[in-house]
Each structure stands twice: as C-alpha cells, then as structure tokens.
Chains A and B, each alone.
Chain A
Amino acid sequence: MSSIATERQQAAAPPAAAEHPPRRRLSRKHREWIAAGLFLLPDGLGLSVFVILPMFFSIVLSFFQVSGFGSYEWIGLGNYERMFNDPYFWSSMWVTAKYVVIMVPVLFVVSLGLGILMKQKLPGMAVYRTALFMPYMLSLVVAGLLWKFMFDEQTGVANKIVGAFGISPQSWLGDPSLALYSVILVTVWYMMGYYMIIFLAGLNEIPKEYYEAAKIDGASPWTSFRKITWPLLRPTSFFVLIMTTVAAITGTFDLVYSLTAGGPANGTAVAMFYIYQQAFVFGEYGYASALGTFLVLIMVVLSWVIFKLTKGGRFDDGE
C-alpha cells in the first residue's frame, strides 16, 4: 500500500522547476491594455449592436426596394437615383440647411456666453448652472409638449411676453414664416445648458496665471478673451461645433415631431423628419435608408470642413 501511495504522490507532484521555465508575468503595459479593454467592452458591445450593425444594415438596405413587410428586391442605385429627383427631399434638405446655419452659431454663442458668465464667482452660480442645465435632462418630446403650451396663440407665455412690448399675438408654430425659428429657439433652450458645461470645462482648463499676467500688462477683458480664451478654447470649440452640427442635422426629429409634425406646409419638415416619414409612414425602408446614408455622408463632409476650418482644434497653426 505504502509503495503505491508513494508512486501516486510522485505522479501528482508538480514537475521539477528545471524542466519547465517559470510562467512570465504580464507586463504592466499589457495588464493596462487588458483592463482598458474590459472597461471598454460593454460600451463597445453597445456601440456595435446599436450603431455599427444598424448602420451597416441601413447601407445594405439602401440598395433594395423594401415593401415594408418582408419583401426585398435588389435595385442597385435606384434609391439614390430617386433621391436626386425627389423635390420633397431637397426641400427638406433646404429646411435642414436653414436650421443648421441659424441654430449652430446661435447655440455656440449662447453656450459660450453662458459658460463665461457661469465662471464668474458670483453668489448663487451653482443654482443658475443647475437651472440652465435642467432642460437637457428632459426628453425632447416632453420639452416639445411643454413649449407647445408656451407657444399657444391664446394662452401661451410667448404671446404674453411679446404682448408686453406691444407686439400683436403670433402663431409661433402655425405660421410657416415663424415655425422654424420657434423650433430653433426651443432647440437652443434645450441644448444650451449642456454645451455651457462643456465650455465651462474648457474654460477651467485655461491656467489662471495667463489672465493674471494679462491683467498686470493692462489688457482689457475683450483683449484677454481674444488673445487667451479664444485660442486656448479651440479644442473645445471644435468639439462643440462638430457636436452641434451633427445634433442639428440628426437630433431634431423628436422636437419637430412633437411641436409641429413637420408642418405648417412642410415649413419644419427637416431631412430627419422626411426620412422618418418615408420609413415609418410610407413603409419605404430602402429609400429611407438611402436618404439616411446620404445624410451621413453630408455630416462626414461637414465635419471635415469644420476640422479644416478649426485646424482640428489644435492650439497652434499646426506648423
């Protein structure tokens, strides 16, 4: 018995160290890579399932004629050809262009102004910051419904305010010449708090010493802004410009849907709303996918233009 036990113990014994080299421990760099990968995994999975896969399917779908309920017919570039001959789509692109050209600069200036204002050390700033950020916590549809009441022709607060200045009541959402501006106003109100925080973070990154030195040199607040704040805020400005442009093109659907449903007389029918209509009202999934793909291309081009104009947000001239 004992000899058998000894044999077993010998068999179970770990191999001699000399026969097997010791296991190498992972380097710190590798361990960091693995940790980073694990942290990024959930987000990566979400991005793949919710963004990359649908985008891929959408591009594939844009080459098909889809009945809406399961029948697919390959039509190659047919949907794109149709897009170039669709006056309603180009009309919606024109509305989108107006929206972007007005909304982006206004939102940029208002958010930057608020960011600078909120950086001042004045009593109650935390409360104001919270109050300004609050709209962003709402869903866009809820924000739209709230403003629908505020824009009411008879009882809305908007007409009460303009009435105080002797202006006659307006149909903010029912007049084609006003409706788009009303939607822009709500968008700016909704988003300014978020971009104010982004600018505030950018402003906090600028060392105080620069301003103190400028003050000693006798620079005015405007000169300090022009020579210190504006150039050092370039990376933040680049980020905000890209984000607001993309938001203006893609993020308008909920507001338009809840405020005006694309009306009056297609006055607020932005491209995103038209794509929604094609897909979910008309059941034209293939055509809607082609329009969506085209819109993504437009956004890529616009982002590239902004990148070039702002030198990618670099502090220097890139030389």
Chain B
Amino acid sequence: MLRHGKGAVAPSRRRILGGAAGLAAAGATGPLVSGCGGPAKAEGGTLKFWHFYDSASSDPAMRGQAKWFDDVIRDWNATHDVKVEPFFVPGTSYQGSKMVTAFASGTGPDIFLLSPGDFLRYQNGGILADLTPHMDRAAVADYGTSLTSRVVEGKVYALPMEVEPLAIFYNVRNWEKAGLSEADIPTTWDGLLDAGDKLRAKGGGAGLVFETDPGYYQNFTWYCWMWQGGGDVLDKDGNVTFDSKAARQGLSLWQDAVRHGIAPRTKPAAGDQLSAFKAGQAGMWQSGIWMVNTFKVGAPELEYGVFKLPTPPGGRYSTAVGGWSFCASTQSSNPDAAAEFCGWALGRMNKKSVDRTVSWCTGVKSDVSPRASALKAATAKGGYDSWAMKKFKNEIFPGGRPEPRYPPVVYKAVSDAIQATMLGGKGVASEADRAAQTIEAYMKSYQGASLI
C-alpha cells in the first residue's frame, strides 16, 4: 500500500473516527495514569514552573510571595523565546505524591522548587540538571557555603533562594505571666527546660514546643541539638557515628521535655504557631526565620522575642539552616532552557539577579540571603534593620549549618529514634544504637552521590 505521494489510499471515515478516538483516549489516559491531572511538561516552547505559593490565598504574605514568582517569570518571558509558565501545586501534595508521581510517569515539571532533605533522592534519580554552565563563575563563589549541600562533584544542581536558620521564639505575654524577664533568656539546655517549666506552670500554655509529627521537618529541627554536642549521623569520611553521646544527649533533651510536660505531645493550634501565639497557647516554640514575616503580616501587634538555641554543658552553639532551591529537570523537553532559567533568575552577578534574592529574602519574605552580595545589598537597603532580622543575621545565622541531604532510609532511621524516644518513651541508648545499625547496614550497599 502506498503511504506517500499521489497514490496514497484515502482513509475511510471509520478509520478517521477510530484514529481520533484512539488519540483522544491516549491524550486522556496519559495524565490520568500519571496522576497529575494536567499537562506539566514543556509544550511547544513553554516550560512549566511548579511552586507552592498560591496567588489566590487569603494570606496577603502568600499572595505577595506568589507575585514574586510571577514577576520573575514575566521578566524572563519578556526577553526570551522559550516561555515559562507558573503552575501552582498546594504545599501538602507538592511535597507528597504529586511531584514524585509526575516525575515517575515522565510528566514532571521543567522547573521546580526542592528542599535540601529531598535533594539526594532527585539527584540519585537523575532528575536534576546541571546548572553550573548557566551561572556566572563569580556567582558560585558569591553563594559560598550555601551551595555546599547542592553540589555534586563540583557541579551545582540546585540554586537556593533563601537561607532559613532555626531559633526559639517566645511569647512576651506568657513570658511576663510566668514572671520571666529578658534576663531569664536561657543559654543552656537546663535553663531552657526551667523556663519552659515556668511557662507551662504560670504562662497558661505549652512551655516549649518542639516539632512532634514524624517527617523530614522534625529531623531538620532536631539535628542541631545533636550537633551542639559534637555529634553527627555520619562523620567526614562517611562512617556512621549516630550512636554517640551527643546523639543520645539530643534525644534525651526532647524526651525529658515531653516526659516532664514542658513540651506538648502534639503542637498547639494544630501546628499553627501564629494562632497559638496570638491565643497565648504557647510560651516558646522552636521555629525558623520565616516566622518574622508571618508575625509582621499576621499579627503586627503581637509582642514576641527570639533567641539563639541554648547549648548543652561543654557544647558549641549550632543551628540548622534550611531553605528551598530552584531546580531544572533533565526530563524536560528543553532541559537546557530550564537550567538557563534557574541560572538567569538567581545565579548571575548582574544587579537584577542579585535584587531578586534581595526582594525575596527581605521584601516578600523574611530570610537570610544565600548570596554574600545579596546579603550586603539587603543590609544596605535596611532589610535587616528590624530587631528580629538583625538578631537572626548577626547572632543566630553565624552558627548555622546546612540541612543534611540524607536519603530516605537514613532519614527514617533517625526519625524513628526521635519518635520512639520523644513520644514512645523508649530508651535513648537502645534507639540510638538501633538507628546506627540500620544506617550502617544501608550504607554498605548505598550507591549514589555523597551524603556529606
């Protein structure tokens, strides 16, 4: 049968209808099977950028942050042939099933945001495109240690837009009710538990709130307590060192806080720190710099304070530093353009690129800038003039250490140890030992990028 040229056989009506039905079915089942419910991959010359900032949110801070993304994309589209389109994915499904199923079925986004805890999963899965060729060499140096956990074999695979150190926020109303003053701000773990105990007894709310739900975030908020005693999950050579005095000490701190009723077993106000502080339901809460903007927008009248994490006897101050990054997908139909977008947006030395970081970290949100030049520019513009931002920048951030990039099995072992000791009342020694053994067994067969 001739297929080309004049002699081609004209298709029958039945064939045309059948073919159309087949195409429609294929078109419909593609996204259905992937579970995404919509096109995500580059179509034509358009790149999809998935983020979780809702432009229709009732929260004005969130709307402002969504607008920042729209502005970045608008600037790019004005000067480039390949267009970028924002695609909002609600936070819970963004970090849950949505993105992983999309990538697993080949319909993932071209550009997306990634947290450090998830970095290795995507890196080892071959999803992350190399951004280095699209960055200015000077910009790599400008980022400095902020890039450490996003680099594999000298190549940059994620560009951080923010740096978020953890500290303890306290509620001045509860603080005063408990008869505490600024002079009582604790500098040691014992002092922290004492203050928490007084707040619980007299402040009328939870004394000290630690994260209680198992997950990457809980691990992130706990690591710093272990680091303060000099402990770690893995040492510099990749050996498992979790079964240490420092890890047991860190687990004991959270266990004691819960056992003595100082820290609640579940977070007040279903985890909404703003509501809990407004209602006086919590005296202290371990949280991050992002709360500065949340309080500023959501409760400008609220009086609160913030102090750096206290240290154990003989320990050294440390805090965990998190933050999201721009990434490009190797699965994109145009990975080069997707990677170029990331480099163009945040990884150049020109004023616009630096200003984007400045406006994100000190305009629409409250963060420490991951770039030295942006930090300098933001400081010059008064972004860190408020007492809280100044404290974060000058006192809390300097002891910061990036959130580790452990694969899921390592995360789960640590998470189980935290949960079992904090809420299950199990012995810290046995749980630290069990977690160390699990990690050690896993590390024997682990293949992938370095965990350090």
Q: Which of A53, A71, A145 contacts B270 (CB 8 A)?
A: A145
Tell me, in angstroms, the Cα distance from A71 to B106 when the chains sit together. 11
**B 275-319 contacts with A by CB, 8 A:** 279, 281
Q: Which of B32, B412, B419 contacts A264 (CB 8 A)?
A: B419
Per-residue CB contact flags for chain B residues 69-95 toward chain A (1 = under 8 Å, else 0) read: 000000000000000000000000000
Tell me, in angstroms, the Cα distance from A263 to B270 when the chains sit together. 15
- Knowing A280-B96, A283-B121 touch, does A50 contact B32 (C-beta < 8 A)? yes
Contact between B32 and A171, CB atoms less than 8 A apart: no
The answer to the question of B179 belonging to the interface, with a C-beta cut-off of 8 Å to chain A, is: no
Contact between B265 and A283, CB atoms less than 8 A apart: no
Closest A residue, CB atoms, query B408: A282
Q: Which of A68, A153, A279, A282 contacts B265 (CB 8 A)?
A: A153
Residues of A within 8 A of B33 (CB): 53-54, 57
Question: Most B CB atoms within 10 A — which of A152, A171, A265?
Answer: A265
Measured between C-beta atoms, what is the minimum distance from B124 to chain A in Å?
8
The answer to the question of A70 belonging to the interface, with a C-beta cut-off of 8 Å to chain B, is: yes
Q: Which of B32, B214, B264 contacts A153 (CB 8 A)?
A: B264
- Knowing A50-B32, A153-B266, A174-B212 touch, does A264 contact B423 (C-beta < 8 A)? yes
Measured between C-beta atoms, what is the minimum distance from B419 to chain A in Å?
4
Q: Which of B269, B331, B423 contacts A265 (CB 8 A)?
A: B423
Q: Which of B29, B122, B206, B409 contacts A282 (CB 8 A)?
A: B409
Tell me, in angstroms, the Cα distance from A50 to B170 when the chains sit together. 49
The answer to the question of B268 belonging to the interface, with a C-beta cut-off of 8 Å to chain A, is: yes
Contact between B270 and A154, CB atoms less than 8 A apart: no
Measured between C-beta atoms, what is the minimum distance from B48 to chain A in Å?
17
Tell me, in angstroms, the Cα distance from A285 to B101 when the chains sit together. 10
- Knowing A148-B270, A154-B206, A267-B424 touch, does A171 contact B213 (C-beta < 8 A)? no
Tell me, in angstroms, the Cα distance from A278 to B104 when the chains sit together. 14
Q: Which of B100, B103, B205, B264 contacts A174 (CB 8 A)?
A: B264
Contact between B423 and A263, CB atoms less than 8 A apart: yes
Residues of B within 8 A of A279 (CB): 97, 100
Residues of B within 8 A of A152 (CB): 266, 268-270
Closest B residue, CB atoms, query A173: B266
Contact between A154 and B408, CB atoms less than 8 A apart: no
Give the size range of A's interface with the partner: 35 or more
The answer to the question of A176 belonging to the interface, with a C-beta cut-off of 8 Å to chain B, is: yes
The answer to the question of B398 belonging to the interface, with a C-beta cut-off of 8 Å to chain A, is: no
Measured between C-beta atoms, what is the minimum distance from A270 to chain B in Å?
14
Question: Most B CB atoms within 10 A — which of A172, A277, A281?
Answer: A281
The answer to the question of A261 belonging to the interface, with a C-beta cut-off of 8 Å to chain B, is: yes
The answer to the question of A115 belonging to the interface, with a C-beta cut-off of 8 Å to chain B, is: no
The answer to the question of A49 belonging to the interface, with a C-beta cut-off of 8 Å to chain B, is: yes
Residues of B within 8 A of A10 (CB): none
Tell me, in angstroms, the Cα distance from A91 to B67 when the chains sit together. 46
Measured between C-beta atoms, what is the minimum distance from A317 to chain B in Å?
46
Per-residue CB contact flags for chain B residues 92-128 toward chain A (1 = under 8 Å, else 0) read: 0000110011011010000000000000011011110
Tell me, in angstroms, the Cα distance from A67 to B106 when the chains sit together. 13
Per-residue CB contact flags for chain A residues 66-90 toward chain B (1 = under 8 Å, else 0) read: 1111110000000000000000000
Tell me, in angstroms, the Cα distance from A283 to B99 when the chains sit together. 11
Tell me, in angstroms, the Cα distance from A299 to B281 when the chains sit together. 44
Contact between B268 and A262, CB atoms less than 8 A apart: no
Measured between C-beta atoms, what is the minimum distance from B89 to chain A in Å?
14
Contact between A280 and B101, CB atoms less than 8 A apart: yes
**B 405-424 contacts with A by CB, 8 A:** 408-409, 412, 416, 419-420, 422-424
Contact between B408 and A283, CB atoms less than 8 A apart: yes
Contact between B265 and A261, CB atoms less than 8 A apart: no
The answer to the question of B215 belonging to the interface, with a C-beta cut-off of 8 Å to chain A, is: yes
Q: Which of A148, A260, A264, A283 contacts B125 (CB 8 A)?
A: A283
Measured between C-beta atoms, what is the minimum distance from A48 to chain B in Å?
10
The answer to the question of A33 belonging to the interface, with a C-beta cut-off of 8 Å to chain B, is: no
Chain B interface residue count, Cβ-Cβ cutoff 8 angstroms: 41
Closest B residue, CB atoms, query A145: B270
**B 160-215 contacts with A by CB, 8 A:** 205-206, 212-215
Contact between B265 and A264, CB atoms less than 8 A apart: yes
Contact between B127 and A69, CB atoms less than 8 A apart: yes
Tell me, in angstroms, the Cα distance from A154 to B267 when the chains sit together. 10
Tell me, in angstroms, the Cα distance from A280 to B100 when the chains sit together. 6
The answer to the question of B352 belonging to the interface, with a C-beta cut-off of 8 Å to chain A, is: no
The answer to the question of A151 belonging to the interface, with a C-beta cut-off of 8 Å to chain B, is: yes
The answer to the question of B426 belonging to the interface, with a C-beta cut-off of 8 Å to chain A, is: yes
- Knowing A69-B104, A174-B423, A263-B419 touch, does A151 contact B266 (C-beta < 8 A)? yes
Tell me, in angstroms, the Cα distance from A57 to B104 when the chains sit together. 13
Contact between A264 and B424, CB atoms less than 8 A apart: yes
Tell me, in angstroms, the Cα distance from A53 to B30 when the chains sit together. 13
The answer to the question of A128 belonging to the interface, with a C-beta cut-off of 8 Å to chain B, is: no
Tell me, in angstroms, the Cα distance from A265 to B212 when the chains sit together. 10
Closest A residue, CB atoms, query B214: A263
The answer to the question of A155 belonging to the interface, with a C-beta cut-off of 8 Å to chain B, is: yes
Tell me, in angstroms, the Cα distance from A57 to B29 when the chains sit together. 14
Residues of B within 8 A of A151 (CB): 266
Contact between A280 and B121, CB atoms less than 8 A apart: no
Residues of A within 8 A of B106 (CB): 70
Closest A residue, CB atoms, query B272: A149
Contact between B419 and A266, CB atoms less than 8 A apart: yes
Residues of A within 8 A of B422 (CB): 264-265
Closest B residue, CB atoms, query A68: B125
Contact between B266 and A69, CB atoms less than 8 A apart: no
Contact between A261 and B423, CB atoms less than 8 A apart: no
Residues of A within 8 A of B213 (CB): 260-261, 263
Residues of A within 8 A of B266 (CB): 151-153, 171-174
Measured between C-beta atoms, what is the minimum distance from B21 to chain A in Å?
12
What are 30 A-B pairs at a CB distance below 8 A? A49-B32, A57-B33, A66-B104, A67-B125, A68-B103, A69-B331, A70-B104, A70-B125, A149-B269, A153-B264, A153-B265, A154-B281, A172-B266, A174-B423, A261-B213, A261-B215, A262-B214, A263-B212, A264-B214, A264-B422, A265-B420, A265-B422, A266-B419, A266-B420, A277-B412, A279-B97, A282-B408, A282-B412, A283-B121, A283-B125
Closest 4 CB pairs of A and B: A174-B265, A265-B424, A69-B125, A264-B423
- List 5 other contacts, CB 8 Å, given A69-B126, A265-B424: A71-B126, A154-B205, A261-B213, A263-B213, A279-B100
Residues of B within 8 A of A (CB): 29, 32-33, 96-97, 100-101, 103-104, 106, 121-122, 124-127, 205-206, 212-215, 264-266, 268-270, 279, 281, 331, 408-409, 412, 416, 419-420, 422-424, 426
